[in-house]
Structure 1
Protein backbone atom coordinates (compact mmCIF):
# COMPACT_ATOMS: atom_id res chain seq x y z
CA UNK A 1 0.00 0.00 0.00
CA UNK A 2 1.36 3.39 -1.01
CA UNK A 3 1.97 6.02 1.67
CA UNK A 4 0.00 9.27 1.68
CA UNK A 5 2.98 11.23 0.35
CA UNK A 6 3.76 8.68 -2.35
CA UNK A 7 0.12 8.62 -3.46
CA UNK A 8 -0.01 12.41 -3.58
CA UNK A 9 3.13 12.59 -5.70
CA UNK A 10 1.97 9.85 -8.04
CA UNK A 11 -1.44 11.47 -8.52
CA UNK A 12 0.29 14.69 -9.50
CA UNK A 13 2.67 12.81 -11.77
CA UNK A 14 -0.12 10.95 -13.56
CA UNK A 15 -2.20 14.14 -13.79
CA UNK A 16 -5.15 12.13 -15.07
CA UNK A 17 -7.10 9.95 -12.66
CA UNK A 18 -9.31 7.50 -14.53
CA UNK A 19 -12.62 7.26 -12.67
CA UNK A 20 -14.10 3.89 -13.58
CA UNK A 21 -17.69 3.16 -12.59
CA UNK A 22 -19.55 -0.16 -12.81
CA UNK A 23 -16.63 -2.02 -14.32
CA UNK A 24 -16.53 -5.79 -14.77
CA UNK A 25 -13.45 -7.71 -13.52
CA UNK A 26 -13.27 -9.70 -16.75
CA UNK A 27 -12.86 -6.50 -18.80
CA UNK A 28 -11.07 -4.10 -16.49
CA UNK A 29 -7.51 -5.44 -16.93
CA UNK A 30 -7.46 -4.87 -20.69
CA UNK A 31 -8.85 -1.35 -20.30
CA UNK A 32 -6.43 -0.38 -17.52
CA UNK A 33 -3.48 -1.84 -19.43
CA UNK A 34 -4.32 0.46 -22.34
CA UNK A 35 -4.63 3.44 -20.01
CA UNK A 36 -1.30 2.61 -18.38
CA UNK A 37 0.45 2.38 -21.75
CA UNK A 38 -0.83 5.89 -22.47
CA UNK A 39 0.60 7.21 -19.20
CA UNK A 40 -2.49 7.12 -16.98
CA UNK A 41 -1.16 5.39 -13.87
CA UNK A 42 -3.80 6.42 -11.32
CA UNK A 43 -7.11 4.56 -11.35
CA UNK A 44 -10.21 5.10 -9.20
CA UNK A 45 -12.57 2.12 -9.15
CA UNK A 46 -15.96 2.93 -7.66
CA UNK A 47 -17.16 0.39 -5.11
CA UNK A 48 -20.88 1.01 -4.88
CA UNK A 49 -21.38 -2.61 -5.98
CA UNK A 50 -19.59 -5.93 -5.48
CA UNK A 51 -17.87 -5.88 -8.88
CA UNK A 52 -15.90 -2.86 -7.71
CA UNK A 53 -14.09 -4.89 -5.06
CA UNK A 54 -13.46 -7.70 -7.56
CA UNK A 55 -11.92 -5.14 -9.93
CA UNK A 56 -9.68 -3.78 -7.16
CA UNK A 57 -8.51 -7.30 -6.37
CA UNK A 58 -7.73 -8.31 -9.94
CA UNK A 59 -5.98 -5.01 -10.73
CA UNK A 60 -3.81 -5.20 -7.63
CA UNK A 61 -2.79 -8.75 -8.52
CA UNK A 62 -2.14 -7.89 -12.16
CA UNK A 63 -0.32 -4.55 -11.82
CA UNK A 64 0.94 -4.44 -8.23
CA UNK A 65 2.87 -1.31 -7.32
CA UNK A 66 2.96 -0.21 -10.95
CA UNK A 67 -0.54 1.17 -10.60
CA UNK A 68 -1.86 3.67 -8.05
CA UNK A 69 -5.23 2.16 -7.25
CA UNK A 70 -8.04 4.00 -5.51
CA UNK A 71 -11.52 3.14 -4.32
CA UNK A 72 -14.23 5.67 -5.17
CA UNK A 73 -17.80 6.35 -4.05
CA UNK A 74 -16.86 5.41 -0.50
CA UNK A 75 -19.67 6.57 1.78
CA UNK A 76 -18.91 4.87 5.09
CA UNK A 77 -16.07 3.43 7.14
CA UNK A 78 -17.09 -0.17 6.50
CA UNK A 79 -16.71 0.34 2.76
CA UNK A 80 -13.39 2.11 3.28
CA UNK A 81 -12.00 -0.74 5.38
CA UNK A 82 -13.07 -3.36 2.86
CA UNK A 83 -11.52 -1.36 0.01
CA UNK A 84 -8.21 -1.07 1.85
CA UNK A 85 -8.24 -4.77 2.65
CA UNK A 86 -8.83 -5.47 -1.04
CA UNK A 87 -5.77 -3.48 -2.04
CA UNK A 88 -6.77 0.16 -2.55
CA UNK A 89 -3.92 2.67 -2.19
CA UNK A 90 -6.23 5.64 -1.65
CA UNK A 91 -9.85 6.42 -0.88
CA UNK A 92 -12.22 8.89 -2.53
CA UNK A 93 -15.60 9.91 -1.18
CA UNK A 94 -17.94 12.13 -3.20
CA UNK A 95 -18.96 14.13 -0.12
CA UNK A 96 -17.44 15.36 3.14
CA UNK A 97 -17.54 12.29 5.39
CA UNK A 98 -15.43 13.09 8.43
CA UNK A 99 -15.49 9.53 9.76
CA UNK A 100 -14.12 8.16 6.47
CA UNK A 101 -11.46 10.89 6.42
CA UNK A 102 -10.48 10.02 9.99
CA UNK A 103 -10.21 6.32 9.15
CA UNK A 104 -7.96 7.00 6.16
CA UNK A 105 -5.76 9.25 8.29
CA UNK A 106 -5.56 6.53 10.94
CA UNK A 107 -4.32 3.99 8.38
CA UNK A 108 -1.97 6.46 6.72
CA UNK A 109 -3.59 6.38 3.27
CA UNK A 110 -4.45 9.30 1.04
CA UNK A 111 -8.04 10.47 1.15
CA UNK A 112 -9.85 12.65 -1.38
CA UNK A 113 -13.12 14.17 -0.22
CA UNK A 114 -15.78 15.54 -2.54
CA UNK A 115 -16.97 19.11 -2.11
CA UNK A 116 -18.21 22.05 -4.15
CA UNK A 117 -18.64 25.26 -2.16
CA UNK A 118 -15.69 27.09 -0.55
CA UNK A 119 -17.07 26.23 2.89
CA UNK A 120 -17.28 22.52 2.03
CA UNK A 121 -13.80 22.58 0.50
CA UNK A 122 -12.27 24.16 3.59
CA UNK A 123 -14.23 21.85 5.91
CA UNK A 124 -12.97 18.76 4.06
CA UNK A 125 -9.36 19.94 4.15
CA UNK A 126 -9.45 20.92 7.82
CA UNK A 127 -10.99 17.52 8.63
CA UNK A 128 -7.89 15.85 7.17
CA UNK A 129 -8.54 15.33 3.45
CA UNK A 130 -5.30 15.32 1.46
CA UNK A 131 -7.05 16.38 -1.74
CA UNK A 132 -10.48 17.88 -2.27
CA UNK A 133 -12.43 16.48 -5.21
CA UNK A 134 -14.38 19.40 -6.67
CA UNK A 135 -17.49 17.61 -7.86
CA UNK A 136 -19.36 17.96 -10.12
CA UNK A 137 -16.79 20.32 -11.67
CA UNK A 138 -18.58 21.09 -14.93
CA UNK A 139 -21.58 22.54 -13.10
CA UNK A 140 -19.64 25.74 -12.40
CA UNK A 141 -16.75 25.39 -14.86
CA UNK A 142 -13.01 25.92 -14.84
CA UNK A 143 -13.23 29.61 -13.89
CA UNK A 144 -14.82 28.57 -10.60
CA UNK A 145 -11.64 26.71 -9.70
CA UNK A 146 -9.59 29.86 -10.26
CA UNK A 147 -11.86 31.88 -7.98
CA UNK A 148 -11.75 29.24 -5.23
CA UNK A 149 -7.96 29.01 -5.43
CA UNK A 150 -7.77 32.73 -4.67
CA UNK A 151 -8.55 32.48 -0.94
CA UNK A 152 -7.93 28.72 -0.71
CA UNK A 153 -4.74 28.40 -2.72
CA UNK A 154 -3.17 26.04 -0.18
CA UNK A 155 -5.77 23.32 -0.75
CA UNK A 156 -5.01 20.72 -3.46
CA UNK A 157 -8.00 20.34 -5.78
CA UNK A 158 -9.00 17.54 -8.15
CA UNK A 159 -11.90 18.66 -10.36
CA UNK A 160 -14.02 15.72 -11.51
CA UNK A 161 -17.13 15.52 -13.63
CA UNK A 162 -17.41 16.66 -17.22
CA UNK A 163 -13.66 16.95 -17.81
CA UNK A 164 -12.85 16.57 -21.51
CA UNK A 165 -10.16 17.50 -24.02
CA UNK A 166 -11.79 20.87 -24.63
CA UNK A 167 -11.67 22.08 -21.02
CA UNK A 168 -8.92 20.03 -19.34
CA UNK A 169 -6.20 22.63 -19.92
CA UNK A 170 -8.39 25.35 -18.39
CA UNK A 171 -8.73 23.37 -15.16
CA UNK A 172 -4.97 22.76 -14.98
CA UNK A 173 -4.16 26.41 -15.66
CA UNK A 174 -6.63 27.42 -12.98
CA UNK A 175 -4.93 25.37 -10.28
CA UNK A 176 -5.96 21.70 -10.48
CA UNK A 177 -3.42 19.33 -8.95
CA UNK A 178 -4.87 16.56 -11.11
CA UNK A 179 -8.18 15.88 -12.83
CA UNK A 180 -10.62 13.01 -12.59
CA UNK A 181 -11.86 11.79 -15.98
CA UNK A 182 -14.60 9.24 -16.46
CA UNK A 183 -15.88 7.32 -19.46
CA UNK A 184 -14.46 9.86 -21.95
CA UNK A 185 -11.15 8.04 -21.40
CA UNK A 186 -12.18 4.47 -21.99
CA UNK A 187 -15.62 4.10 -23.58
CA UNK A 188 -14.27 2.76 -26.87
CA UNK A 189 -14.46 -0.52 -28.70
CA UNK A 190 -10.78 -1.49 -28.75
CA UNK A 191 -7.76 -1.21 -26.48
CA UNK A 192 -5.95 0.69 -29.23
CA UNK A 193 -8.68 3.36 -29.32
CA UNK A 194 -8.59 3.64 -25.53
CA UNK A 195 -4.82 4.06 -25.55
CA UNK A 196 -4.95 6.70 -28.27
CA UNK A 197 -7.61 8.77 -26.53
CA UNK A 198 -5.93 8.47 -23.14
CA UNK A 199 -2.67 9.63 -24.72
CA UNK A 200 -4.45 12.78 -25.89
CA UNK A 201 -5.59 13.48 -22.34
CA UNK A 202 -2.09 12.93 -20.93
CA UNK A 203 -0.57 15.20 -23.56
CA UNK A 204 -3.16 17.90 -22.86
CA UNK A 205 -2.44 17.74 -19.13
CA UNK A 206 1.33 17.85 -19.56
CA UNK A 207 1.07 20.67 -22.08
CA UNK A 208 -1.05 22.78 -19.73
CA UNK A 209 1.20 21.97 -16.77
CA UNK A 210 4.35 22.92 -18.66
CA UNK A 211 2.74 26.16 -19.85
CA UNK A 212 2.30 27.21 -16.21
CA UNK A 213 6.04 27.03 -15.49
Structure 2
Protein backbone atom coordinates (compact mmCIF):
# COMPACT_ATOMS: atom_id res chain seq x y z
CA UNK A 1 0.00 0.00 0.00
CA UNK A 2 2.83 2.42 0.82
CA UNK A 3 4.21 2.14 -2.73
CA UNK A 4 0.83 3.02 -4.24
CA UNK A 5 0.46 5.94 -1.83
CA UNK A 6 3.90 7.26 -2.77
CA UNK A 7 3.14 7.05 -6.48
CA UNK A 8 -0.06 8.95 -5.86
CA UNK A 9 1.76 11.60 -3.85
CA UNK A 10 4.41 12.00 -6.54
CA UNK A 11 1.64 12.53 -9.08
CA UNK A 12 -0.02 15.10 -6.83
CA UNK A 13 3.32 16.84 -6.18
CA UNK A 14 3.70 17.24 -9.94
CA UNK A 15 7.19 18.76 -9.83
CA UNK A 16 10.32 16.83 -8.83
CA UNK A 17 13.40 18.89 -7.96
CA UNK A 18 16.46 17.09 -9.36
CA UNK A 19 19.35 18.39 -7.28
CA UNK A 20 23.07 18.24 -7.95
CA UNK A 21 25.76 20.03 -5.98
CA UNK A 22 29.32 20.04 -4.72
CA UNK A 23 28.59 18.59 -1.28
CA UNK A 24 25.79 17.00 0.77
CA UNK A 25 25.42 20.27 2.68
CA UNK A 26 24.97 22.09 -0.61
CA UNK A 27 22.13 19.89 -1.87
CA UNK A 28 20.45 19.77 1.54
CA UNK A 29 20.29 23.55 1.43
CA UNK A 30 18.93 23.44 -2.12
CA UNK A 31 16.31 20.95 -1.03
CA UNK A 32 15.24 23.04 1.95
CA UNK A 33 14.80 26.10 -0.25
CA UNK A 34 12.88 24.06 -2.84
CA UNK A 35 10.53 22.72 -0.17
CA UNK A 36 10.02 26.25 1.19
CA UNK A 37 8.86 27.17 -2.31
CA UNK A 38 6.27 24.39 -2.33
CA UNK A 39 8.01 21.54 -4.16
CA UNK A 40 7.15 18.29 -2.40
CA UNK A 41 9.36 15.78 -4.26
CA UNK A 42 13.14 15.94 -4.03
CA UNK A 43 15.59 13.81 -6.00
CA UNK A 44 19.19 13.80 -4.79
CA UNK A 45 21.46 12.51 -7.53
CA UNK A 46 24.23 10.03 -6.81
CA UNK A 47 26.68 12.32 -8.62
CA UNK A 48 26.75 14.42 -5.43
CA UNK A 49 29.74 13.52 -3.23
CA UNK A 50 28.46 11.67 -0.13
CA UNK A 51 24.94 11.85 -1.55
CA UNK A 52 23.65 9.27 0.91
CA UNK A 53 24.40 11.67 3.78
CA UNK A 54 22.13 14.27 2.19
CA UNK A 55 19.37 11.70 1.61
CA UNK A 56 19.48 10.57 5.24
CA UNK A 57 19.46 14.13 6.59
CA UNK A 58 16.50 15.12 4.43
CA UNK A 59 14.59 11.91 5.10
CA UNK A 60 14.89 12.40 8.84
CA UNK A 61 13.73 16.00 8.58
CA UNK A 62 10.85 15.74 6.12
CA UNK A 63 9.51 12.21 5.73
CA UNK A 64 8.08 11.71 9.20
CA UNK A 65 5.62 14.59 8.97
CA UNK A 66 2.00 14.76 7.91
CA UNK A 67 1.75 14.71 4.07
CA UNK A 68 -0.57 17.70 4.35
CA UNK A 69 1.95 19.71 6.36
CA UNK A 70 4.19 22.36 4.84
CA UNK A 71 7.30 20.60 6.13
CA UNK A 72 6.55 17.28 4.40
CA UNK A 73 8.46 16.09 1.33
CA UNK A 74 9.17 12.86 -0.51
CA UNK A 75 12.92 12.26 -0.67
CA UNK A 76 14.32 10.09 -3.45
CA UNK A 77 17.56 9.27 -5.22
CA UNK A 78 18.57 9.82 -8.83
CA UNK A 79 21.29 8.82 -11.29
CA UNK A 80 21.19 5.26 -9.96
CA UNK A 81 23.17 3.01 -12.29
CA UNK A 82 22.92 -0.34 -10.51
CA UNK A 83 21.01 -2.33 -7.92
CA UNK A 84 23.75 -1.99 -5.29
CA UNK A 85 23.43 1.77 -5.35
CA UNK A 86 19.64 1.54 -5.25
CA UNK A 87 19.71 -0.65 -2.13
CA UNK A 88 22.21 1.63 -0.37
CA UNK A 89 20.02 4.65 -1.10
CA UNK A 90 16.86 2.90 0.11
CA UNK A 91 18.63 2.00 3.36
CA UNK A 92 19.71 5.65 3.65
CA UNK A 93 16.06 6.76 3.46
CA UNK A 94 15.25 7.18 -0.24
CA UNK A 95 11.54 6.57 -0.94
CA UNK A 96 11.84 6.45 -4.72
CA UNK A 97 14.62 5.58 -7.17
CA UNK A 98 15.35 7.22 -10.52
CA UNK A 99 17.83 5.91 -13.08
CA UNK A 100 18.93 7.21 -16.49
CA UNK A 101 18.25 3.90 -18.24
CA UNK A 102 16.28 0.66 -17.99
CA UNK A 103 18.45 -1.56 -15.78
CA UNK A 104 16.65 -4.81 -15.03
CA UNK A 105 18.54 -5.62 -11.82
CA UNK A 106 17.77 -2.19 -10.36
CA UNK A 107 14.09 -2.45 -11.24
CA UNK A 108 13.79 -5.94 -9.77
CA UNK A 109 15.45 -4.84 -6.53
CA UNK A 110 13.12 -1.86 -6.15
CA UNK A 111 10.11 -4.08 -6.86
CA UNK A 112 11.35 -6.53 -4.24
CA UNK A 113 11.26 -3.79 -1.60
CA UNK A 114 8.11 -2.13 -3.00
CA UNK A 115 9.91 1.13 -3.76
CA UNK A 116 8.78 3.20 -6.79
CA UNK A 117 11.41 3.12 -9.52
CA UNK A 118 11.51 5.45 -12.52
CA UNK A 119 14.00 4.34 -15.18
CA UNK A 120 14.94 6.60 -18.05
CA UNK A 121 13.62 5.65 -21.47
CA UNK A 122 13.27 7.20 -24.90
CA UNK A 123 11.93 4.56 -27.29
CA UNK A 124 8.74 2.53 -27.38
CA UNK A 125 10.91 -0.56 -26.92
CA UNK A 126 12.48 0.84 -23.74
CA UNK A 127 9.13 1.89 -22.29
CA UNK A 128 7.59 -1.49 -23.13
CA UNK A 129 10.47 -3.31 -21.45
CA UNK A 130 10.10 -1.13 -18.36
CA UNK A 131 6.37 -1.85 -18.18
CA UNK A 132 7.00 -5.58 -18.53
CA UNK A 133 9.38 -5.38 -15.56
CA UNK A 134 6.69 -3.77 -13.42
CA UNK A 135 7.66 -0.10 -13.63
CA UNK A 136 4.88 2.33 -12.69
CA UNK A 137 6.43 5.56 -14.00
CA UNK A 138 8.92 5.97 -16.83
CA UNK A 139 11.27 8.95 -16.94
CA UNK A 140 11.43 10.43 -20.44
CA UNK A 141 15.10 11.35 -20.56
CA UNK A 142 16.49 13.52 -21.90
CA UNK A 143 13.26 15.43 -22.36
CA UNK A 144 15.15 18.17 -24.21
CA UNK A 145 15.20 15.88 -27.26
CA UNK A 146 11.45 16.24 -27.67
CA UNK A 147 8.52 18.63 -27.57
CA UNK A 148 5.58 17.92 -25.22
CA UNK A 149 3.69 16.40 -28.15
CA UNK A 150 5.86 13.28 -27.73
CA UNK A 151 3.72 12.20 -24.76
CA UNK A 152 0.44 11.70 -26.64
CA UNK A 153 2.49 10.15 -29.44
CA UNK A 154 3.95 7.58 -27.04
CA UNK A 155 0.61 7.07 -25.34
CA UNK A 156 -0.95 6.19 -28.69
CA UNK A 157 0.37 2.60 -28.57
CA UNK A 158 1.05 2.69 -24.80
CA UNK A 159 -1.85 4.54 -23.13
CA UNK A 160 -1.09 2.75 -19.85
CA UNK A 161 2.38 4.32 -19.54
CA UNK A 162 2.95 7.05 -16.93
CA UNK A 163 5.62 9.36 -18.34
CA UNK A 164 7.69 11.95 -16.47
CA UNK A 165 9.86 14.19 -18.69
CA UNK A 166 13.14 15.32 -17.16
CA UNK A 167 15.69 17.58 -18.80
CA UNK A 168 14.55 20.48 -20.91
CA UNK A 169 11.51 21.30 -18.76
CA UNK A 170 11.26 25.03 -18.02
CA UNK A 171 8.76 27.57 -16.76
CA UNK A 172 7.87 28.40 -20.34
CA UNK A 173 6.92 24.83 -21.30
CA UNK A 174 5.92 23.13 -18.02
CA UNK A 175 2.25 23.83 -18.62
CA UNK A 176 2.43 22.32 -22.08
CA UNK A 177 4.06 19.15 -20.71
CA UNK A 178 1.35 18.77 -18.07
CA UNK A 179 -1.48 19.43 -20.52
CA UNK A 180 0.07 16.85 -22.87
CA UNK A 181 -0.38 14.18 -20.21
CA UNK A 182 2.86 14.12 -18.21
CA UNK A 183 2.56 12.19 -14.93
CA UNK A 184 4.89 14.80 -13.38
CA UNK A 185 7.97 16.74 -14.48
CA UNK A 186 11.56 16.75 -13.31
CA UNK A 187 13.28 20.12 -12.92
CA UNK A 188 17.07 20.26 -12.86
CA UNK A 189 19.55 23.06 -13.38
CA UNK A 190 16.99 25.77 -14.15
CA UNK A 191 15.80 25.60 -10.55
CA UNK A 192 19.22 26.18 -9.01
CA UNK A 193 21.53 27.79 -11.57
CA UNK A 194 20.83 31.41 -10.58
CA UNK A 195 21.30 30.62 -6.89
CA UNK A 196 24.58 28.82 -7.54
CA UNK A 197 25.81 31.67 -9.73
CA UNK A 198 24.94 34.44 -7.24
CA UNK A 199 25.22 32.60 -3.93
CA UNK A 200 21.67 33.70 -3.07
CA UNK A 201 19.83 30.45 -2.35
CA UNK A 202 16.58 32.28 -1.68
CA UNK A 203 16.30 32.43 -5.46
CA UNK A 204 15.60 28.69 -5.39
CA UNK A 205 12.54 29.32 -3.22
CA UNK A 206 11.31 31.98 -5.63
CA UNK A 207 11.83 29.73 -8.64
CA UNK A 208 10.18 26.78 -6.87
CA UNK A 209 7.10 28.91 -6.18
CA UNK A 210 6.99 29.92 -9.84
CA UNK A 211 7.16 26.30 -10.95
CA UNK A 212 4.42 25.23 -8.57
CA UNK A 213 2.22 28.14 -9.68
CA UNK A 214 2.73 27.07 -13.30
CA UNK A 215 1.90 23.47 -12.41
CA UNK A 216 -1.29 24.35 -10.55
CA UNK A 217 -2.38 26.66 -13.37
CA UNK A 218 -1.85 23.91 -15.96
CA UNK A 219 -3.79 21.37 -13.88
CA UNK A 220 -6.69 23.80 -13.48
CA UNK A 221 -7.02 24.50 -17.20
Between the aligned partners of 1:136 and 1:151, the Cα distance in structure 2 is 21
What pairs up with 1:15-54 in 2 under 5 angstroms? 15-48=14-47, 50-54=49-53
Question: Cα offset for 1:49?
Answer: 5.0
1:61 counterpart SS class:
helix
Tell me the TM-score normalised to structure 1 length.
Answer: 0.93
For the Cα contact (< 8 Å) 1:22–1:52, is it kept in 2? no
SS at structure 1 position matched to 2:109: helix
Equivalent pairs counted in the alignment come to: 210
Taking the aligned partners of 2:164 and 2:131, their CA distance within structure 1 comes to 13
Contact 1:25 1:58 (C-alpha < 8 Å) held by counterparts: no
Equivalent of 1:144 in 150, 175, 180: 150
Any gaps of 5 or more consecutive residues in structure 2? 65-71
* TM score, norm. by length of structure 2: 0.90
Structure 1 unaligned residues grouped into runs of 5+: none
Question: Secondary structure in 2 aligned to 1:186?
Answer: helix
Aligned to 2:209: 199
Rounded to whole Å, the distance in 1 between the matches of 2:169 and 2:31 is 19
Q: CA RMSD in A?
A: 1.5
SS of the aligned residue for 2:163 comes to coil
State the Cα deviation string for residues 8-46 of structure 1 (Å, max 9, x = none).
Answer: 111111110001124522223332222112210101111
Aligned counterpart, 1:134: 140
Provide the residue aligned with 1:210 in structure 2.
220
User: How do 1:90-169 residues align onto structure 2 when only pairs under 5 Å count?
Assistant: 90-169=96-175
